[in-house]
Amino acid sequence: MNITLTLPDWVNQEIEKYPKHILMQEERMKLVIRLSQLNFVNKTGGPFAAAVFERDSGKIVSIGVNRVVPLNCSSAHAEVVALSMAQNKLQTFDLGSQEMPAHELVVNWRPCAMCYGAVLWSGVRSLVIAGSDDAVEKITGFDEGPIHPDWIDEFKKRGIDVLDNVLRDEACAVFREFAESGSPVYNGRGGDTES
């Protein structure tokens, strides 16, 4: 038995509208937020997207969107998908190896408890996020899970820089749009939840 992770068909069409290199981090985030919106509007997953860039050149290496429900895979969060796609494309399990340029992951919110570790092991040297407080949990009902209390410092200890609050309002606007759409929120352990 094999597991296959795929991106929705609309991703390629959308990406063709953008330049192949995006230098400014706000522009990188703008792309990611747009993908997070298209993902739930197209009913291809939850309102989360991620992209791996060459940190300095801005070259787009890979895209990921949340695919949990369509692929029946609770690990198919946007970050895991984007990082796996980048590693597959570059044929390495370590995006931080000495032979290649530094890589950056851009995501439309802070990593959940799982994606925190996935970022650590991926080899990326920087993480750009739209926000890190409990706004997403409050707006959408998604559970981010128990992350290490000093998670940003622990990233830094391992050579990963974090840039927070990039286009926070724009990201939250999409989360609100998602919440108002009545789309499903899945946190696992459906048998235990009361709603």
152 phi and psi angles, rounded to 5 deg: -70, -45
Under 8 Å between Cβ of 63 and 85: yes
What string marks each residue from 120 to 159 as x (binds a second copy by CB under 8 A) or -? xxxx-x-------------------xxxxxxx--x---xx
Q: Are strands 49-54 and 126-129 parallel, antiparallel or unpaired?
A: unpaired
What string marks each residue from 73 to 112 as x (binds a second copy by CB under 8 A) or -? xxx----xx-xxx-xxx-xxxx-xxx-------------x
**Does the footprint of a second copy cover residue 189 (CB under 8 A)?**
yes
Count of residues that interact with a second copy, criterion CB under 8 A: 59
Token reading at 11: 């991703």
- CB 78, min distance to a second copy, A: 12
Number of Cβ within 10 Å of residue 138's Cβ equals 12
Coil, strand or helix: which one is 163? strand
Nearer to a second copy, 94 or 164 (CB): 94
Token reading at 120: 């650590």
Angle between helices 113-122 and 78-90 (to 10 degrees): 20
**Does the footprint of a second copy cover residue 192 (CB under 8 A)?**
yes
Rule CB under 8 A: which residues touch a second copy? 1-7, 62, 68-69, 71-75, 80-81, 83-85, 87-89, 91-94, 96-98, 112-118, 120-123, 125, 145-151, 154, 158-159, 186-192
